[in-house]
Structure 1
Amino acid sequence: MSEVTATDLYEVTMALSYLREGMQAPATFSLFVRDLPPGRGFLVAAGLAPALDYLSRFRVGGTDVEEFAEALRRPVEDLEPLDGLSFDGQVRAVPEGRLVLAGEPLLEVTAPLPQAQLVETYLLSLLCHQTAVASKAARCVLAAAGRPLVDFSLRRTHGPEAGMQAARLSSLVGFAGTSNVAAATRYGIPAAGTMAHAYIETFASEEQAFRAFARTHPGPVTFLVDTFDTDRGVATAARVLKDLGLGPGCGIRLDSGDLGALARRARTALDEAGLRDVQIIASGGLDEYGIDRLVRKRAPIDVFAVGTKVGTAADAPYLDAAYKLVEYDGRPVMKLSSAKVTAPGPKQVFRGPGLRDVIGLANEEPPEGTVPLLGTVMRGGLRTEPSDTLAAARTRFEADLAAMPDEARRIDRPTAPTPVVSTRLTVLTTAVRHRIEARTGTGQ
């Protein structure tokens, strides 16, 4: 499948019409999230690097034109104006890892109108999914209150590539490792894993399974102890660890049941066996809500492994995001339809202490005490700087999270900060609205 044809059909029909009408003046589109999902006090901007990679290599080829023609049931020659179309525009964006709020553009594209239109679908798909997953993972970091987290999501994500993204994004917000071997090697993330219940079941007893595993993997091992009876599994693991002289760096994993109660009993059993350095790892349907409950109850869990609910952003699997035209050929434009009004003109977000943000126009001076969030990352279809690193994105995330108000950091019923709109943007919005209403006769 070509990345070019991975788009909605109406992007093709509009781009073709623009070309035939000679409408190739610069257009600016703004990509933003209208409202935060329920249960979110912030979002983590993510997905910029693959978005820039996509734009860098975007070019409509002959095969793409043939596929467009087939989809439209039109002769190939009707679609030939699209042949050779590539992206040579400008992109301004919020750096990956920064926290963003409702209404704030994650990214703005300025390019000849057909180009800017045709890349809409792919950009929305990249940024929305990754921002949703990164935001979910970030809340797990908050809930864990300093305890390490490991990504176990690959087998439950919506496809292998989504699993790769989940591993990278969880590392971006501070996870300690991933079970995903490909992601570990591609992104330099520590790989982590234990064993499955099937492994235990293939042996005559748990003890045989544990001893066999330790023979193959003589370094620190983690035994899965809940295949049959968790308390007996813990006792067996403790006996094998002591017999083999294993301790520091080793662990047991609890994957089902009342994790808090089981962890307390396991901790007591391990301590009584002289294995105070053996860690307890918990998994099994966890996300920030489950982790928060366990931490608040002081469950003696050292590491949390999270998968399904985080890799799919289960409680908020999509964002109410939009990619809207805000300026064409130097003329500010806006949408007036009910509940979906957009503000005109290229934007900038000015960030003050405590994430007191101002959404203003791109060409206005920053209010005192603020810094602009969006920077130019692509010009003339080329990146303006080398690809970002996970470490740099993580540093930005940690700084923004530390500055986030406590009410937005809450796991239960967070309250998100509300950006204010600059005077200049307010004035422009009013003027453009009046202009549209006068032209269309829709004013009151």
Structure 2
Amino acid sequence: MEGTLQEITSGLKNNDDFFEIYQDFGKEKLIFLGLNSLMDVPKTLFSLKERLNYETRMDNQFTSILFGLGENIIQDKKAIISSILEGKLVILLHNYHDRAIVVNPFSKMLSRSIEAPTNENTLQGGLSSFNEDLDTNLGIIRKQIVSENLLIKAFTLGNEQSRKVSLIYFEGSNKPYLKTLEKRLKENIGIDPKNLQNLNRLMGIPRWSLVSHFTTTELPQEANNALERGRAVLFIDRLPYAFITPGRLEDMFFIENDENFPYPIMIAIRFLRIAATLLTLIIPGLYVALVSVNPEVLRIELALSLAESRDGVPYPALVETLLMLITLELIIEASVRLPKSIGPTITMVGGIILGQAAVEAKLVSNLLIIILAATTIANSTIIGVQHSTSIRLFKYLILVLASFIGVLGILVGVFFVCSYYASITTLGVPFINFNFSKGDIKGG
């Protein structure tokens, strides 16, 4: 017994929150092991003692009763240590040194309650959002979808830091990618999916991919909609998002909340997002192309107006546009990183004071300020931070091509972007794929 106990506690005894409590119950000596930072120790032990005292009054088979209280009985030393690190209470018996009883304790409240979404706004939709606790997120999904066909499969990934992952899909979704997804989860059990890059590596997605192969959401209705359309949802413990796979192009423009509007309005909103994406990609490059490469395309009045607005600007149109675009990127990044009390101030300083000063100093033209403001607003209509960031990156490619070969460069850039999206596959499913629809859960 002493050797077993020493082997278990050798790696944990240097932690100040590790406890080792000895208690005598009649002829039996029990040893309680756990972490007091993850459980309410007094409440757990009191409840356990009360139950043992009551049960032993009814039946003298103390040992069998004790084994019956446990969630499971473990013999492997590494599994025992892993259970302790997960916040379980481990009980060792003096006469059964080869087995440990794992009990669910009264846990400390270390997770947020279910709150309204903070990163995704909803209009006329549900206000619940996922949080960092995996069991809570699974419960939200179960409450959203009351169906016996909903399957949840659990995996434990990571070597040094184990992390629970749950794969959710409908039983009728006999899609080939589901088998591939499960296979890769089992084969890459040593990878800790603590971020999207590790998740991509786990799924075999190229490291230099410019587009996210997963749609992240904190809205239960979006995860519900994806499941109904025959897709799979991944939940990762300690990450407050659902990862919807396989990713597809329409995730940039369509969300479930749109269906709360009348059908004509829903169509108009979605076309508005598509138009905004095209504006984000094309407008900065079009400005550079028409100013410096193809001014003959413009009407003479508009050409004179552009020339007048750039009077005194010392830089070429490409440098002028890049200067302001990079400044806007810095403002966006600063507004994300700074506290909410300071972020709006930085946005105001960058958007109003800095822009006006740049115009008055003849560093940029008035028209460029209008164009870049419209571009930034249009980019914000794209659904999902991952998708909007990709579009922001492609915008620079089209801008550079337009500065060299004008309007033709814009066409080449748009063709390249479309070709790149068409070449992307996730788990064998093309990114440009519109075959997912309601009712896919019934067929293979």
Instruction: Tell me, yes or no, whether TM beats 0.5.
Output: no
More helix by share: 2
Identify the structure with bigger relative contact order (alpha carbons < 8 Å, sequence gap 6+): 1
Which of the two has higher C-alpha Rg? 2
TM-score where L is the length of structure 2: 0.22
